[in-house]
């Protein structure tokens, strides 16, 4: 792509495209030895099929990735809000480029190391969903902002504001845009309550090296359910968030041309838009930070996403774009098979994997495994319990549905992207996704 298009998308698309020239070798565990010495572009050129790969293996589905990005972009546009997807979910510049091309405002990240990855690939607009406290990180961010990047970070305490101001003043750097973060009781970061957040905002207003650009927060840490009891703390928190903004706006407490109001993970973004959406006006933007939606899953997000709570298989729902494949390496007890993939290969923090089928090999038709379950995972193994009347043999391949993309992709430096249009059982390798965790 040309330089003009790179700039327009807010990311250096040439740098992203250049990832295809990386030579593959022993460092890429998803790549079979037969492909060592080839480039990532050659690996994803369409000459290989799933059956040419090796296990254990995490793959991505091309159609699901495209569909998820498009669905979220359309929904945000229809509701008049923006999206700064949380890039820490994938740490994949190629997927960030797809999200930016679909209209994302920028990319959200969680720490300075992740910001450096984004700047290496020319991402121009970034949100740090955290407070800057490390002196080297503060100096680096200030330097990037001075060179033309936009990096908006958060503050949640008077002490944090004073530290930022002191370090920036010593370096004769700044100003930096910050958002005052409001938290909820029992949640993660964030000033606890409106009054405490107002104190932080007042501290920012007296700090000449800082500019108050809006309000931030994260509701997802307050609940993991979407029934009335689960939604109650989320909605109460969002109402406090709105009250904080309205108070600051009435007091003319912002120092920006456009106020940013940002909340919204991948579980409750509909509640965020219902409560904060009415605040949208000329000079006020509501920005969601949903990140898991681009990959989605077959576990936690399948059950809680606003698009799939009532019908996970609806046409409007996100589709899991990740699949895990593991061979049976041992079957020495009735009803127990040991698979070769474990904690080093797949996520387990938001629920254990779900067996979706078993076949004689990669690319072979799958037969169902009714009543089967993964009951435990070790570092490199998973325990598959199944009814004894089912036939599961060593060497067969089990497809597993995973829960929580944030702790799935971090275990893989490179993943093949599959297209099953011509052959759903044995899809073609049409690309790769490189991660930088």
411: Cβ–Cβ under 8 A, 6 or more apart, which residues? Answer: 58, 344, 345, 346, 347
Task: Give CA–CA dist 284/278, Å, rounded.
Answer: 10
Token output for 409: 């992709």
Start-end of H helices in 213-328: 228-250, 269-276, 300-304
CATH 3.20.20.10: which residues of the chain? 124-290
Q: Can you name the CATH fold of 1-63+295-437?
A: Lyase, Ornithine Decarboxylase; Chain A, domain 1 (2.40.37)
**pLDDT recorded at residue 4:** 42
Record the pTM: 0.95
**Residue 10 contacts residue 123 (beta carbons within 8 Å):** yes
φ/ψ (deg, to 5) at 221: -80, -5
**Residue 105 contacts residue 79 (beta carbons within 8 Å):** no
**Residue 32 contacts residue 53 (beta carbons within 8 Å):** yes
User: What Å distances lie between residue 348 and 90, 234, 404, 407, CA to CA?
Assistant: 17, 25, 8, 8
Task: Give CA–CA dist 198/192, Å, rounded.
Answer: 10
Domain 124-290 has CATH 3.20.20.10: yes
**Residue 188 contacts residue 216 (beta carbons within 8 Å):** no
Burial profile 190-199: b = 16 or more Cβ within 10 angstroms, e = fewer: bbebbebbbe
CATH 2.40.37.20: which residues of the chain? 1-63+295-437
Indicate the length of the chain as a whole number: 437
What tens-digit pLDDT sequence spans the chain (437 residues)?
Answer: 334 445 467 999 999 999 999 999 999 999 999 999 999 999 999 999 999 999 999 999 999 999 999 999 999 999 999 999 999 999 999 999 999 999 999 999 999 999 999 999 999 999 999 999 999 999 999 999 999 999 999 999 999 999 999 999 999 999 999 999 999 888 899 999 999 999 999 999 999 999 999 999 999 998 888 898 999 999 999 999 999 999 999 999 999 999 999 999 999 999 999 999 999 999 999 999 999 999 999 999 999 999 999 999 999 999 999 999 999 999 999 999 999 999 999 999 999 999 999 999 999 999 999 999 999 999 999 999 999 999 899 999 999 999 999 999 999 999 999 999 999 999 999 999 999 99
Task: Give CA–CA dist 323/59, Å, rounded.
Answer: 5
**pLDDT recorded at residue 8:** 60
Task: Give CA–CA dist 5/12, Å, rounded.
Answer: 9
**Residue 306 contacts residue 410 (beta carbons within 8 Å):** no
**pLDDT recorded at residue 9:** 79
**pLDDT recorded at residue 186:** 82
**pLDDT recorded at residue 2:** 37
**Residue 297 contacts residue 402 (beta carbons within 8 Å):** yes
Count of other CB atoms within 10 angstroms of residue 60: 25
**Residue 301 contacts residue 351 (beta carbons within 8 Å):** no
**Residue 192 contacts residue 200 (beta carbons within 8 Å):** no
């Amino acid at each position: 792509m040309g330089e003009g298009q790179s700039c327009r998308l807010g990311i250096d698309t040439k740098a992203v495209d250049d990832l295809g020239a990386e030579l593959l070798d022993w460092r890429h565990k998803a790549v079979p030895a037969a492909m060592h010495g080839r480039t990532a572009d050659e690996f994803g050129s369409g000459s290989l099929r799933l059956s040419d790969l090796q296990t254990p293996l995490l793959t991505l589905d091309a159609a699901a990735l495209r569909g998820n990005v498009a669905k979220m972009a359309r929904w945000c546009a229809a509701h008049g809000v923006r999206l700064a997807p949380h890039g820490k979910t994938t740490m994949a510049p190629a997927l960030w480029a797809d999200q930016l091309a679909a209209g994302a405002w920028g990319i959200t990240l969680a720490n300075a190391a992740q910001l450096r990855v984004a700047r290496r690939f020319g991402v121009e607009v970034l949100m740090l969903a955290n407070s800057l406290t490390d002196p080297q990180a503060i100096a680096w961010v200030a330097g990037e902002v001075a060179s033309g990047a936009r990096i908006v970070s958060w503050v949640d305490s008077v002490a944090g504001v004073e530290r930022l101001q002191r370090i920036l003043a010593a370096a004769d750097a700044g100003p930096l845009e910050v958002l005052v973060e409001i938290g909820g009781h029992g949640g993660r970061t964030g000033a606890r309550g409106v009054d405490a957040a107002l104190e932080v905002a007042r501290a920012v207003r007296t700090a000449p090296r800082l500019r108050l650009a809006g309000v931030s927060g994260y509701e997802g840490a307050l609940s993991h359910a979407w029934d009335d009891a689960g939604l109650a703390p989320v909605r109460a928190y969002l109402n406090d968030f709105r009250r904080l903004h309205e108070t600051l706006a009435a007091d003319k407490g912002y120092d920006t041309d456009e106020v940013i109001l940002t909340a919204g993970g991948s579980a409750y973004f509909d509640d965020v838009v219902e409560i904060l959406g009415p605040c949208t006006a000329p000079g006020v933007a509501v920005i969601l930070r949903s990140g898991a939606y681009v990959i989605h899953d077959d576990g936690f997000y399948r059950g809680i996403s606003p698009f799939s709570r009532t019908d996970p298989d609806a046409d409007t729902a996100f589709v899991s774009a990740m699949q895990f494949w593991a061979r049976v390496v041992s079957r020495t007890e009735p009803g127990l098979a040991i698979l070769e993939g474990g904690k080093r290969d797949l996520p387990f923090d938001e629920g254990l994997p779900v067996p979706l089928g078993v076949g004689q090999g990669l690319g072979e038709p799958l037969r169902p495994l009714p009543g089967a379950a993964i009951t435990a995972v070790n570092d490199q193994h998973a325990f598959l319990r199944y009814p004894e009347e089912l036939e599961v043999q060593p060497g067969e391949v089990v497809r597993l549905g995973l829960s929580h993309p944030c702790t799935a992709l971090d275990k893989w430096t490179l993943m093949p992207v599959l297209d099953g249009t011509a052959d759903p059982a044995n899809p073609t390798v049409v690309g790769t996704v490189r991660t930088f965790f």
